[in-house]
Amino acid sequence: MRKSPWLLLLFILLGGLLGGILGEILRVMAPKGTIQNIFTTALTPGINPPVTLDLVLLKLTFGIALKMNLLSFLGMFLGIYLYKQA
């Protein structure tokens, strides 16, 4: 049976989302210290500030930002693993 690449993308996105949510919960609930710093320090790649294109009649703003912590990455890898097992 052939697996869909869209299903892989869904697994990766859901894994990253769940990992990010767990990271935010850990950031709020875990005591301050090394463990909290390791799991909750976020990498934020993106376009900052957003790029604005002003065409007088139309003004367009383009921007994207990702906030990813260690648990987001682990969730993505878990999503890939589960996809391969299915």
- Residue 63: its pLDDT value, please? 93
Closest CA to 78 of 5, 14, 22, 31: 14
What percent of the chain stands above pLDDT 70? 99
CB atoms within 10 A of CB 8: 14
What's the pLDDT at 42?
86
Q: Domain tally for the chain?
A: 1
Task: Determine contact, residues 24/41, Cβ cutoff 8 Å.
Answer: no
Mean pLDDT of 55-80: 93
Structural domain for 51, as ranges: 5-85
19, pLDDT greater than 90:
yes
| The pLDDT of residue 1 | 63
Report which secondary-structure segment, H or E, holds 62. Answer: strand 59-62
Could you give the 3-state DSSP secondary structure of residue 34?
helix
Furthest CA-CA distance within the chain:
53
- 49 upstream amide cis, omega within 30 of 0: yes
Q: Which two tokens stand for residue 31?
A: 């005591």
